[in-house]
Structure 1
Amino acid sequence: MLDRFDLRILETLQERGDMGPIEMSQTVHLSSSQCSRRMQALRKAGYIKSVRAVLEPSKISVGLQAYVLVTMKSHSPTAADAFRERLLGIDEVLQCQKLTGASDMIIKIATRDLETFNQVLTRELLGAPEVANAQSSIILEDIKSTSSLPLNYASMNP
């Protein structure tokens, strides 16, 4: 079970994953050794999957991001595994989630421009033998984008 200090550490790390125990101690109001111990325990317990840098797309020439809704031809394990392997090999695929409803998956793609997006879409997705249909929507404006999860659902010690 988590306590309020653990939740504050997790909340802070979601915003600033590069924060060390000394800086964390000033934010959480615990000693740096306590923060270090708690941060290690949270990692060991699996609360923290990984820590990554969030890059600015325009600085690395990523000018287009889009979502693609995919409908599969078959839901067989063989087709699903083949498509999964295909997606894992495409650098431009940022995310892929299985869905309920009319579409089977939603895929987020990042490319340099519309021409590059069209190549990825036609060659990699529409060209895949497992795909029956794909509908794309280009992101015009990034209004809110976060990987931070809401911590108000976490089980907490009283």
Structure 2
Amino acid sequence: MNLDHRDHALLKLLQADSRISNADLAAQVGMSASACWRRVKALEDAGIIDRYGAILNPQAAGLHFQAIVHVQLARHSEDDLTAFIRGVETRHEVVECYATTGQSDYQMRVLCRDLDAYNAFLETFLFRLPAVASAQTNVVLREIKKNTGIGF
């Protein structure tokens, strides 16, 4: 699907406020409500709009510890990789995880209540996975830029 200027405008507005009414959305991009609804539906059907949701403030939710964890695997067998990925997918502390190039095999962003909760995460989960050789933790001191949307 090729995106035009109206698609970009719709996506920008929806990323800023996914609860915006279709009527308001249509008015802001200069479209009829029915044409706007069809365009948004097409963006959803094409998979460009993946989902809708609320963006939470971790600090306000009591999650005061944030880290970027660089994980190196000792073994890369299919079973070990599957166990690692399934395990990561089930842990609420892991909010993002990426397979990457470079020294580490995976980069994870982890949110916890505090340092003790993070230590428990390491000891009871991460270090018990057979494939994990090591994990290096970079504690996030402050956020410089955090953008959940895609710019156009």
User: CA offsets per residue over residues 34-85 of structure 1, 9 Å max, x none?
Assistant: 2111111110111111111001112221111111000001111111101011
What SS does structure 2 have at the residue aligned with 1:132?
Answer: strand
Write out aligned runs for 1:2-81 (5 A): 2-81=3-82
Counterpart of 1:107 in structure 2 is: 108
Matched, 1:127 2:128: yes
Moved more, 28-37 or 79-88: 28-37
Shift of 1:130: 1.0
Counterparts of 2:27 and 2:119, CA distance in 1: 48
What SS does structure 2 have at the residue aligned with 1:68?
Answer: strand
| Structure 1 segments unaligned to the other structure (5+ residues) | 152-158
What SS does structure 2 have at the residue aligned with 1:106?
Answer: strand
| Structure 2 segments unaligned to the other structure (5+ residues) | none
User: CA offsets per residue over residues 80-123 of structure 1, 9 Å max, x none?
Assistant: 10101111111111010001011000011111111101111222
What SS does structure 2 have at the residue aligned with 1:69?
Answer: strand
- Please list every run of at least 4 consecutive aligned residues from structure 1 whose deviation after the TM superposition is greater than 2 angstroms: none
Counterparts of 2:130 and 2:3, CA distance in 1: 46
Q: Which amino acid aligns with 1:141?
A: R
Counterparts of 2:72 and 2:45, CA distance in 1: 38
TM-score normalised by length of structure 2 = 0.93
User: CA offsets per residue over residues 113-158 of structure 1, 9 Å max, x none?
Assistant: 111011112221122211001000111111111121233xxxxxxx
Counterpart of 1:91 in structure 2 is: 92
Q: Which amino acid aligns with 2:150?
A: L
Corresponding residue pairs, total: 151
